[in-house]
A = this chain, B = another copy of it.
Amino acid sequence: MRRGKPNDPGRRARILQATLDVIRAGGMEAASYRGIAAHAGVPLGSMTYYFPTLEGLILSALDTTRSDLEPRYADPLREAQTRDDVVDVLVDATIGATSPTLDDIRLYAEIRHYGARNPKVADVLQAVEDDSLVTLHRVLPNSTALAINALLWGWWSHRLAHPDTALDELTVRQAFEALVNLPAPGHPFHEKEQNNA
């Protein structure tokens, strides 16, 4: 039973997209109803209509990033067979073709930052992180996965703090190699598995 005028069906989605754009460009503090409305080309009244509370809008928008991260980072990891493959994927995700742009890193940083204080955002962060950790954990022991996650975020953070200086690929690669080849707990001697084609 539909009533009223549904004259712009994609409006809700466009607002969500505009929200992410604004956060990417100006940070969470720039995410005001009015600013987002201007960016999306919708009147202020539409904002509060589709999203009665600003926090709700932001949470919804952040949540959509989960589906963005999955294919870019987790998918290639799922296909990695050897430890060397894993290193390749990680290097690529840090500075290569599948690596996020500075704007995307900024967005991810906003989530982490906000998540440190807002429990709702922390849940989103947890979900994003779980997606990648679970995938890493499929190939590597738990402790190694943690360290790699920490280092990956460290590299991304480095890129944020030094936007004009490119990271040296060999430096990044060797660091990941060192972590990936850590011995698993309970197996003091590291066995390199050789199940590639």
Q: What total of chain A residues lie within 8 Å of the partner, measured CB to CB?
A: 41
Query: Which residue of the partner chain B has the closest CB to A154?
Result: B150
Q: When the two chains form their complex, are residues A175 and B179 in contact, meaning their CB atoms are under 8 A apart?
A: yes
The answer to whether A143 touches B129 (Cβ under 8 A) is no
Within the assembled complex, what's the spacing in Å between the Cα atoms of A143 and B106?
A: 24
So how many copies of this chain end up in the complex?
A: 2
Q: Which of A115-170 contact B (CB under 8 A)?
A: 115-117, 122, 125-126, 129, 143, 146-147, 149-155, 157-158, 160-161, 167-168, 170
Instruction: Indicate whether A56 reaches chain B with its CB closer than 8 angstroms.
Output: no
Q: Is the interface of A mostly helix, strand, loop or mixed?
A: helix
Which B-chain residue is minimally distant from A143 (CB atoms)?
Answer: B171
Determine which of B122, B143, B149 lies in contact with A174 in the assembled complex, contact meaning CB atoms within 8 Å: B143
Task: State in angstroms the CA–CA spacing of A100 and B117 once bound together.
Answer: 18
Contact between chains at B117 and A27 (CB < 8 Å): yes
A185 contacts partner chain B, Cβ-Cβ < 8 Å: yes
